[in-house]
Structure 1
Amino acid sequence: MTAKAMTAKTILLTGATSGIGLALFEQYVSRGDKVIACGRDEAKLARLAPRAYKTCQFDLNSPDEIKAAMQSLSLDNVLAQVNIVILNAGNCRYIDDAKQFDGQLFQDIITTNLTALGWLLQGALPKLRSGSQLVFVSSSATILPFPRSQAYGASKAGIDYLANSLRLDLLKEGIDVTLVHPGFVKTPLTDKNDFNMPFLITSEQAATAIIAGVDKRKRYLHFPKRLTLLLKLFSLLPASLWQKIITLK
């Protein structure tokens, strides 16, 4: 057995069919890791199946589908093999008129991006062994509020708290937690944005940064730093000043 085979990881990856998730899938598989590719689109999953260790289809908005998928992976003894869980899947939609607040849109985004994680964790966490790793892909949008991002930002802020709180409770279990704050990444989701996205990077660049940080078992990753450090600097300024900067058109 080669050294590479001995160190191969088994990775449960949500949102594996597009964007950052697809780039993660490609890079992990190319280096010899075994990826359980999770997604909603059956046709896209079918295209990954020949190279995936296993595919798993479910809709993040359906707790029953998530629970059934996790139970299936558990019965097949697949979850017990997992070294890394990467919770990457999500959606982004904007509230264009805050005065006419869209409650349904808000609920949909919170459900997809945050509530679904509870069902995924319920299924996966009991099977994770000491030495495993949980990775939450959040957003640099939580560093500083952005216009129109009430739903998306709130869901990602919830992920931040979830990850940081779980880290405390899982310490005694020997399970590490990594929180990821990407900046603007070119994906099918961001292709819909109608505003300037400074320091835009590719999905492949994002995946490379995530894998490098996860390999080092870092608690917190943020990139590209020319954006995230700028946002952190803005957050230290008086509110009246950074609000003017961030709402400039």
Structure 2
Amino acid sequence: MSNKTILITGATSGIGYSLFEQYSEQGEQVIVCGRNQQQLSSMGNVAFKTCCFDITDQQAIEEASRTIESLDVLILNAGNCRYIDDAKHFDGELFADVIQTNLISLGWLLQYLLPKVKKGGQVVFVSSSATLLPFQRSEAYGASKAGVDYLAKSLKLDLIKEEIDVTLIHPGFIKTPLTDKNDFSMPFLLSSDEAASRIIIAIEKRKSYAHFPKRLTLLLKAISLLPDFVWQKIIVKD
């Protein structure tokens, strides 16, 4: 059986890097994408191909896409997390930046990379369990990831005729350079290697949806079913 060609955005750190390592160990042809040229260069001896671009740069994405022939799996993993610290004095610039990075960039990535995905291939969206329940300070991040969820679910319907599967991933708290900046408790924290392993299993099983760790995600789903005044008392911190 021939090796799969798998493209990963945000592959130079966190979950993306762990996905790169595990897929490479399996002998797959991994195309790693990111902004950090130095890190990409260090991965070049193992990676099938490296592409250096910012996911918000349409022209750079278009140029990189010209060097890619075909894909079996497209993993849209790159993103950012920033918080609204003062809701009354809302930071519109921060909001726009997060929406641009986490959601609008997916439009450009899909425009140039989805045509490369073979019949019978897969598109994977790494979203967040933050969409299961509203959280304080998460207006920008949560809104962007809620958009990712809808995009993935809608795209899945339109790609049925193309015989391309779509997988939506809801990770919980994962130890990455992004979450290292968090100043709050992160229950049931998983390593990026654990997260990557679970994502790979979901892809191999061609699941339409995967969430983990379930002790967190199922708890959030259960809380979301409670009356608003109840779950808000649980979530809101003074």
TM above 0.5, yes or no, is yes
1:206 corresponds in structure 2 to: 195
Aligned counterpart for 2:116 among listed residues 98, 104, 127: 127
Among all aligned residue pairs of Structure 1 and Structure 2, give the percentage whose two residues are the same amino acid: 64
Aligned counterpart for 2:41 among listed residues 34, 46, 60: 46
CA contact (8 A) 2:5 2:31 kept: yes
Report the CA distance between 1:72 and its aligned residue.
3.0
Dislocated runs of 4+, deviation >2 Å: none
CA distance in 1, matches of 2:188, 2:115: 39
How many residue pairs are counted as aligned between the two chains? Answer: 238
Does the alignment pair 1:233 with 2:228? no
Unaligned runs of 5+ residues in structure 2 are none
Does the alignment pair 1:140 with 2:129? yes
Aligned counterpart for 2:73 among listed residues 72, 84, 87: 84
Amino acid in the other structure paired with 2:34: G
Amino acid in the other structure paired with 2:160: L
Report the CA distance between 1:68 and its aligned residue.
1.6
CA distance in 2, matches of 1:127, 1:237: 43
2:52 corresponds in structure 1 to: 57
Does the alignment pair 1:37 with 2:26? no
2:17 corresponds in structure 1 to: 22
SS in 2 for 1:131: strand
CA distance in 2, matches of 1:234, 1:51: 44
Report the CA distance between 1:7 and its aligned residue.
4.7
SS in 2 for 1:11: strand
Give the TM-score taking structure 2 as reference length.
0.98
CA distance in 2, matches of 1:225, 1:125: 30
1:3 corresponds in structure 2 to: none
CA distance in 1, matches of 2:108, 2:193: 28
CA distance in 2, matches of 1:151, 1:128: 30
Unaligned runs of 5+ residues in structure 1 are 1-5
CA contact (8 A) 2:55 2:109 kept: no
CA distance in 2, matches of 1:206, 1:148: 24
CA distance in 1, matches of 2:59, 2:92: 23
1:169 corresponds in structure 2 to: 158
SS in 2 for 1:72: coil
1:11 corresponds in structure 2 to: 6
CA distance in 2, matches of 1:31, 1:129: 20
CA-to-partner distance for each residue in 1:80-101, whole Å, 9 max, x for gaps? 2x10000000000001000010
Give the TM-score taking structure 1 as reference length.
0.94
